[in-house]
Structure 1
Amino acid sequence: MSVRMGVRPRHVTMVAAATALLAPGCAPEPAQTEEDEAHIRGHAAGMAAHHLCAGVFVVGRDYERSVEEVVAQDIRPFDRFDWQDDFEYAVDFETRTASVSGDGLRTQYAEYNGDQGCTILPAGLEDVTFEPRVVERLSPDPAVTAWPTGDVAAYHDPPPSEADMAALGAALDWAMAQSEHNTRALVVVYAGKILGERYAPGFTRNTPQISWSQGKSIASALVGAAIQAGHLDVGLDDPAPVPEWQGVDDPRREIRIRDLLNMSSGLDFLNLGSDPELRWTHAHEHSRIYFEGIDVFEHAIDQPMDTLPGAIFRYRNSDPLTAIRIVRQAVEARGEDWLTYPQRILFDRIGARNYVLETDAWGNFIITGYDYGSAWDWARFGLLHLWDGVWPTPDGGSDRILPEGWVDFVSTPAPGAALRNYGGLFWVNRGGAFPRAPEDAYWAAGAMGQYTAIIPSRDLVIVRLGPSPGDHGAYMSDIIGEVTAAIDR
């Protein structure tokens, strides 16, 4: 069964041009021909095909109704997707594919592969090159297992005396009422249990939602968990074991694990931001992974250097992707299955049952943006870090998942972060990025306002999910400010 529709939203002309964002000699050639224009618009169509596929199959809306709903609610309203007035879209529920086409474009396809989510199919491929895996969720039954691994007794009952529940309720209601931010899930965890939560219609605590670059923080945790388990035999200050970088005269052999996690590798990996004239171009190396259907791991490592490792923090997908490639190689060298590894080594151990880490056509996790998690998944992920990487087990024991000192590392500003705003694939508040948050706050953050904030001094984790087009940083700062004000410590 297939559903096909055409819509007529706004049109954005895409012309690649050199701007001040680019260093001299690095600017892409202007796209002046119809062929160039079609190529650039095709990238927008590819990303739209992915989002349509994932919005229907991964998030799990009511099928036929969801097709138009995803375009109307998740893609068309947002400038970042550049939906074109000639785009048409289709979802085939038998082949579990989504497609987007337009005048003069090669139709772009995304394919749903179960627990590996949706994958953009590059030209020349009719299917992914790997065998999709069923990722079993092996945590104990949440209905009969105590929080935090299960759902039993997840809430404070009664609420702690220091919490002004009326003020907290008003803060959460205010946050949900800011309709321009499209908040779909908001959860406050205090002193280890849930103190308050709100959900938009159609979304629940277990609905997987696109979390964008919050996945970078998952990448950090996976590196830490692999080290703690002895599956990855490296330390933070060891050189990154990337075989392609080990030539005698290759400066990349000096890049450390620490540098990758601090996003300070020195790799020349252009991030051209969201300028509408540049964001869909081939030169935008940082974002190509989201719209071109390329091998994201090879794309990440196949870059020269343009500055010394550790010197400068620069927000670039190359670094976390390289870190996860290192984990993949170590895991597969042990004869273990890569596609189920994150669930086994991390998610099962904290009772997170709804994460979906999407892959490219070669089975590489696009963990820097194409990851889906539910509000309670992220609450548990935040608690793992609040509790210094140690998880209380259902039998009353404890499980050290992250190495001792790991949380201190990820929540400490990178030496190259001049604004003291970035740590080990987490954003940090030491430089006051969120004025209304305590200085020790740090957070996983993703595009369009996805946040899991961890505030050790207040024993708090705050999760916010949903596609916000506005100034979501100020909005999240206000949420944290109102919540902390409602709990008098």
Structure 2
Amino acid sequence: MKKLLISLALFSGLLIAVPPYFLGFSLFNLGHAVQVATSLSAKLACSARFISGLDDQQIVSDLSSYSPVTELVNLKYSDTPSQVSADLFGLAPTVATYRQGLGCTIEFDGDDTLYQMASQPLPEPDHAPWPKGNRVGTVNPNIQGVLESILAEDNRNGLDSRAMVVVQDGQIIAEAYGNGFNQTTPLLGWSMGKSITAMMLGRLEALGKVSKNDTALFDQWTDTRAELSLEQLLQMSSGLAFDETYAPGSDATHMLFTAPSASDVAMISPLDHEPGRHFSYSSGTTNLLSRYIHQTLGSDPAQTMDFVQTELFVPAGIATATFEADASGVLVGSSYLYASGRDWARFGLIMANNGEINGQKLLPDDWVSAAKTPNTSDNEKSYGYQFWLNQGDEQLRWPSLPVDAYAMLGNRKQSVMIIPSTNTVLVRLGWTSGDYPMEDNYKVLLDAILKAST
């Protein structure tokens, strides 16, 4: 009945008669909603198919968790070229194209930046011990049993956990995967990409190319925004206005699904608060950081991709990661990084090791320290350089976890938890649309680790 009502409404123009909850979006933004539905479907289906290797049924199920209207989107897959096209009863046709090593990007008329780039070769797997390579011989049977029980319980409860990894003292001691997923499956981290964007800036700082104190960040900012510092953007305390609501008509959905340049959306944001005084979570701010990285590296998408590989992925032993750019060639740092559970664990290990991995120092000690230090805003201090912190406010964010815990977090309850005091990294990747007992599950794992070590 729901699909029938929507179909009739769309074709007859009687949208005012359809309750908004049937559609999953406000009728006042119908035009943008239809475009978002097809663009979101084409983009996510393309990446799921050509990066993660998911089948059509899984893709449709994943999309439907965002809005019932996506169930009505017509998806067509092509292998030559590697594309996914989407439309809603013929409306808002959208195409997303996959390029090896570059991922999937929505196509926009007249924007051929990525067409000028060659596909990037994927690294060959390394058979050295993890984290340099993919050979894991350090599994603790007791912790493995606990982790498998957690993942099985998650999935009995419909929480759709897909990959979980436990790293202790620099070694993988347990890992578990849902049906259809394994240790090499690249999975979307959503907002965990924000933390990796920050780490790219940390690497640039180590190379002397940027400083957290940089101001006059963009030529487009000729007003008081020129006084904003890179650190204020990293801490999301810039004071820039940005609508993070994920609904048709918002800045966030326009940025991710209907704008050729994600960073352009936030570039025009005015100041809404005094810089440094107000924390406001903003994916737009992260994409400004991506834009700053892009211009620092010569405004050349090929140079940015090369930097990511040679200065971060390759030294860390990361071989499954794809960091996607928008149609303008700028990385969508807020949202579009795919990597396996083991590779997300490597990102966490870099931070747990104070910027070092595989004998290479990638991030300065003082940068890592600043990244996990509370910001100085008046309203929410428990956020560092694109990392969520346990401490900083009157109450701990995760009371049952160690005070010094901090994390990368992403939509659908993705997480990489870093706990310096126990030398632990915990990873969970999945597709949960509601609540997820992250803190409880991680507490169980930490207790098991402590018990195993005594």
TM range (shorter): 0.7 to 0.9
Aligned to 1:111, the other structure's residue is in SS state strand
Paired residue type of 2:63: I
Q: Secondary structure, in 3 states, of the residue corresponding to 2:52?
A: coil
Q: Which has the higher helix share?
A: 2
Match of residue 282 from structure 2 = 316
Cα deviation for residue 38 of structure 1 reads 3.5
Q: Does residue 485 of structure 1 match 2:447? A: yes
1:294 Cα deviation from its structure 2 partner = 2.4
Is residue 2:75 matched to residue 1:89?
Answer: yes
For residue 169 of structure 1, report the CA deviation from its aligned partner: 1.8
Do the aligned partners of residues 400 and 166 (structure 1) sit closer, same or farther apart at CA in structure 2, a change above 3 Å counting?
Answer: closer
Separation of aligned partners in 2, 1:197 and 1:411: 26
Kindly indicate whether residue 44 of structure 2 is the aligned counterpart of residue 68 of structure 1.
no
Q: Name 1:207's counterpart in structure 2.
A: 185
Tell me if 1:146 matches 2:129: yes
| 1:174 counterpart = 2:150 | yes
> Does the CA contact (< 8 Å) of 1:270 and 1:286 recur in 2?
yes
1:264 counterpart SS class: coil
> What residue identity is the alignment partner of 1:364?
V
**1:133 to 2:118 alignment:** yes
One-letter code aligned to 1:147: W
CA-CA distance at 1:168 after TM superposition: 5.7
Partner of 2:162: 184
Q: Does 1:455 align with 2:431?
A: no
Report the secondary structure of 2:175's partner residue. strand
Alpha-carbon spacing, 1:404–1:9, altered in 2? closer, same or farther (3 Å)? farther
Query: Which residue does 1:24 correspond to in 2?
Result: none
Residues in 1 aligned to 2:448 and 2:333: alpha-carbon distance in whole angstroms: 35
Percentage of matched positions with identical amino acids: 28
> What is the match of residue 359 of structure 1?
325
Give the letter for the 1:445 counterpart. Answer: L
Find the counterpart in structure 2 of residue 114 from structure 1: 100
Alpha carbons of structure 1 residues 130 and 296: separation in structure 2 relative to 1, 3 Å = farther
- Look up the match of 2:435: 471
What TM-score comes out, normalization by structure 1 length?
A: 0.82
Kept in 2: contact 1:187–1:194 (CA 8 A): yes
Asked whether the equivalents of residues 67 and 91 of structure 1 are also in contact (C-alpha less than 8 Å), the reply is no
2:202 paired with 1:236: no
Pick which of 304-313 and 441-450 moved more: 304-313
Trace 1:251-262 onto structure 2 (pairs within 5 A). Answer: 251-262=224-235
Q: Report deviation, 1:37.
A: 2.0
Match of 2:409 among 437, 445, 453: 445
Match of 2:116, SS state, is coil
Note closer, same or farther for the CA distance 1:128–1:59 as it changes in structure 2 (3 Å cut): farther
Aligned length: 431
Choose which of 419, 422, 428 in structure 1 pairs with 2:389.
428
Deviations, residues 301-331 of structure 1 (Å, cap 9, x unaligned)? 2222111211111111222211221111111
1:138 is displaced (CA, Å) by: 5.7
Q: Which runs of 5+ in 1 are unaligned?
A: 1-6, 17-29, 160-164, 393-397
1:290 to 256, 278, 282: 256
Aligned residue identity for 1:453 = M
Secondary structure at the counterpart of residue 332 of structure 1: coil
| Distance of 2:73 and 2:32 partners within structure 1 | 14
Aligned-partner Cα distance in 1 for 2:113–2:68: 26
Q: Secondary structure at the match of 2:400?
A: coil
Describe the shift of the 1:417–1:427 C-alpha distance in structure 2 as closer, same or farther (beyond 3 A).
farther
Letter of the structure 1 residue corresponding to residue 126 of structure 2: P
Shift of 1:345: 1.1
Secondary structure of the residue that 1:178 maps to in structure 2? helix
**Secondary structure at the counterpart of residue 170 of structure 1:** helix
Alpha carbons of structure 1 residues 176 and 405: separation in structure 2 relative to 1, 3 Å: farther
Aligned counterpart, 1:52: 45
Q: CA deviation at 1:81?
A: 3.5
CA distance in 2, matches of 1:345, 1:406: 16
Counterpart in the other structure of 1:4: none
After TM superposition, give the deviation of residue 401 of structure 1 in Å: 0.5
Q: Distance in 2 between matches of 1:424 and 1:471?
A: 25
Cα deviations by residue, 1:337-385 (Å, 9 ceiling, x for unpaired): 2222211111111000111111111111112111111101111111100
Name 1:280's counterpart in structure 2: 248
2:202 to 216, 221, 224: 224
Whichever residue aligns with residue 482 of structure 1, its letter is V
Residues 316-465 of structure 1 aligned to structure 2 (within 5 Å) = 316-332=282-298, 337-392=303-358, 398-416=359-377, 418-430=379-391, 431-465=395-429
